Structure formats: C-alpha cells, structure tokens
Amino acid sequence: MKLYWNGAINMRKYHEIYFATSNLDKFKEAKVTLSKFKINIKRAAVKGPEIQSNKIEEIAKASVVQAIKHIKRKVFVEDTGLFIEALNGFPGPYSSYVQLTLGNKGILKLLKGLSNREAIFKSAFAFGEPNGSILCFTGCIKGNISTEEKGEMGFGYDPIFKPIGGGGKTFAEMTIVNKSEYSHRSRALEQFAGWYIKNYKIN
C-alpha cells in the first residue's frame, strides 16, 4: 500500500479522510470539492478486486470494506458508471472495463447513426471506518454523448460526455473547477460532506 501525502495543512481546521484510488485525476477532483467544506483528503493507492454487480453502489461498498482492512482509518471508495440510453444503460457498472477495452472510440462507433445520445453519469462513494457502518452517497448528471472526442483536460469518458447546462462542452473541455459545478462526482461528494459535517461536528 502506498499513501500519498498532499501538502502541509493546518489540522486544527481540517478533518482528514483517505480516498482509496489509483486514479490521480479522480483524487484531484475530489480534493477540489471537499476542500470547500474544510475536509482534507489523502490518497491511498490501494486497489482490490471488484465484485460483479449491476449496481455501482454495491461495488463501492464491497471495495471500501477491503480498503478499511488495509488503511484502518476513515476512508471512502468511488465507483462510477456511464449509462447510455440508446444502449440500454450500457456500459453502466462495467464502465471501467469497457473504457479499457473499447475506449471512447468504441462507444462512438456503437452510437454511430443514432439520434438518441442521452446518457447519465453516476457516481457512488462508499464511506466507512474501522468498527463503523458503511454508508453510500450517490450523485448523477444527465447529458449527451458527443459525436466526436473533444477536449484535453479530462480522463475516461470525459471527452465524449456533454453535461446538461455545460454550454455544449464536454467534461474534457472544462477545468477541474468548472467540471465540479456539474459533475456526478461533485454531487455525490457534496452529499457526503453535508452528512460528515453534521456527524463529525466540523466547525
């Protein structure tokens, strides 16, 4: 297990949580959102086997149980899914695998000639700590799949996903700060932050 420490923080003002992820871009996005709530996160590069499930919430919950065993502190894990209407919700909970095998070009090929390009990006954050309960927080954003890849600033499906209200831009055409105004990830984390502030009494 590798722990990544991210700068000197005045710990009188911040609460710390570990984000178990090997994806640095996800970590950066989460850090931007949670810093607004004075919640500091550190990255733990732990990656265990994912269970097979049709629900990303169940995948995240199972993953965080494994992460707690390694880190032994407050930690959360995320699972995401891109649900494309014309493809009956595919790739959904298999989004990570499909991104590795088909990639964005493969998705665009599957949608070639189709007028319905509506999709939902969904994020599930499972949170837990040793001897504590496992909770899950979700966030969604509706949007459309573009006809071509656009942008250089995102990762994963960001170059082909245009969120509603985003001015026709893909996530990959937005900065992290701009993306956090719309993203499924930020919406899930904002729910988590509200719960965490209330239950851990952050001033």
**Residues annotated as part of the active site:** 79
CA distance 44 to 56: 20
DSSP sequence for the chain: --EE--S---TTT-EEEEEE-S-HHHHHHHHHHHHTTTEEEEEE----PPPP-S-HHHHHHHHHHHHHHHH-SSEEEEEEEEEEGGGTT-EETTHHHHHHHTHHHHHHHHTTT-S--EEEEEEEEEEE-TTS--EEEEEEEEEEE-SS---SS--TTGGGEEETTSTT--GGGS-HHHHTTT-HHHHHHHHHHHHHHHHHT--
Report which residue type is found at 92: G
Q: Say how many residues make up the chain.
A: 203
- CA 75 to chain CA mean position, Å: 14
